[in-house]
Amino acid sequence: MSGHPLAVHTVTLKSSGRRFPVAAGESVLEAAQRAGVALPYSCRSGVCGSCKATLLQGRCEYPRNPPLALNADALAHHAVLPCQAVPVTDLLLEAREVTSVEDVARRQLDVLVAEKWLLTPEVIGMRLHPAAGERRLNRLPGQYIDVLLDDGKRRSFSVANDLRADGMIELHVRHVAGGGFTTWVSERLQVGDRLRIEGPLGTFVPREDSERPMIFMAGGTGFAPVKAIVEHFIALGTRRAIDVYWGARSADELYLRGLAEHWQRELPQLRFHAVVSDPARAAGLRTGLVHRELLADQPDLSGHDLYMSGPPAMIEASHQAFLDAGLPEDRLYYDSFEYAPDVLAQIIAGRAGIHDPAL
């Protein structure tokens, strides 16, 4: 016996011809992951749209969360969200695959807090090391981890550094007023404390099969996975042109601006663009919305690869604008901050609108 749940439907991916079974009540994404097929995803909640695929044949339902990331036009063109879609029949999908993550096993491990420091009054830096007897977590730059809480809840954080031999994991945690977990991290978590984590998660990873110029856009602590991927390409010795845009409300929220400026000084092909949305707190920096400033510089994106990471509101505002500027959708890679399930339930119920997973 295989131990796998009994399949009731089959999903076929048109581009590759790969097929995998889906058990009763299972989402397309869950079934794909169980079968070792890597479909793109980020939030796993139906909010960000990074997993969007096209349904060519068959029917599915959304018994868990509504597909908030799909507007009426997308639905009219048979778009589906595999992270929430539960097949009612066999399905034929047009979906992207991220084969580079297929051999990276997801697992749980204990880590110790090795360092904790303030990046800004609202952003905490942490470095975690595997606890004694634990193997380092194998992962790709840009992926994230879940911190597992005692009450069964979990909080997601992007890893801000490339893979290291000692297994160190760097996190940038934004403290949210009234947020129970981030308040605990800010006020009570100590160096030497033990955490249980699971990972790696996500498909926001480097695509190395291209020589096109790259644009990275980050909002707030969305800089963390961007930092990891940019440093990965730097370590590879890439000669591709790189533009890094980082947007925040105020100049002091660009908490590693010095590092990004260092990249620009050291690498002739890299340009850094700091953008602040509040002119009163810009401290002489460029002002505006970061995606609009990017398009002012790069009105034609047809020859680029673009990576973006940040709050869902930023992702939503930027996505169609970048496609309208000529960027093919299969060259737009993004990581939208994940809503924790309890926070998502509030959003769906209309009681809150929170744009950070670390609450």
Q: What is the pLDDT of residue 93?
A: 97
Q: Which fold has domain 7-97?
A: Ubiquitin-like (UB roll) (3.10.20)
Both tokens of 99, joined, read 């084969």
CB atoms within 10 A of CB 251: 16
CB 321 within 8 A of CB 291: yes
Q: What is the pLDDT of residue 153?
A: 86
d(CA 101, CA 104): 5
CA distances from 115 to 111, 140, 153, 192, 268 (A): 12, 22, 24, 8, 33
Residue 54: phi and psi, rounded to 5, are -110, 125
Residue 250: phi and psi, rounded to 5, are -140, 160
CB 303 within 8 A of CB 211: no
For helices 223-236 and 257-266, angle between their N-to-C axes, nearest 10 degrees = 20
The sign of the CA dihedral 297, 302, 305, 310 is: positive
pTM of the model: 0.85
Tens of pLDDT, residue by residue, the chain (359 residues): 445 567 799 999 999 999 999 999 999 999 999 999 999 888 788 888 888 999 999 999 999 999 988 888 889 999 999 999 999 999 999 998 888 888 888 999 999 999 999 999 999 999 999 999 999 999 999 999 999 998 888 899 999 999 999 999 999 999 876 677 888 898 899 999 999 999 999 999 999 989 999 999 999 999 999 999 999 999 999 999 999 999 999 999 999 999 999 999 999 999 999 999 999 999 999 999 999 999 999 999 999 999 999 988 898 889 999 999 999 999 999 987 655 555 455 444 543 343 343 33
Single-letter amino acid, residue 283: A
Q: Specify whether domain 107-203 bears CATH 2.40.128.690.
A: no
List the chain domain ranges: 7-97, 107-203, 214-336
Q: N- to C-terminal Cα distance for the chain? A: 42
Alpha carbon 79 to its chain's center:
20
Q: What is the pLDDT of residue 357?
A: 37
Give the closest residue to 282 by CA, choosing from 256, 313, 311, 247. 247
User: Coil, helix or strand for 168?
Assistant: coil
Is 214-336 in the same CATH topology as 7-97?
Answer: no
Alpha carbon 223 to its chain's center:
11
Q: What is the dihedral of CA 238, 240, 241, 247, to 10 degrees?
A: -60
**Domain 214-336 CATH (choose: 2.60.40.2380, 2.60.40.10, 3.40.50.300, 3.40.50.80):** 3.40.50.80
d(CA 296, CA 249): 19
Q: What is the pLDDT of residue 2?
A: 46
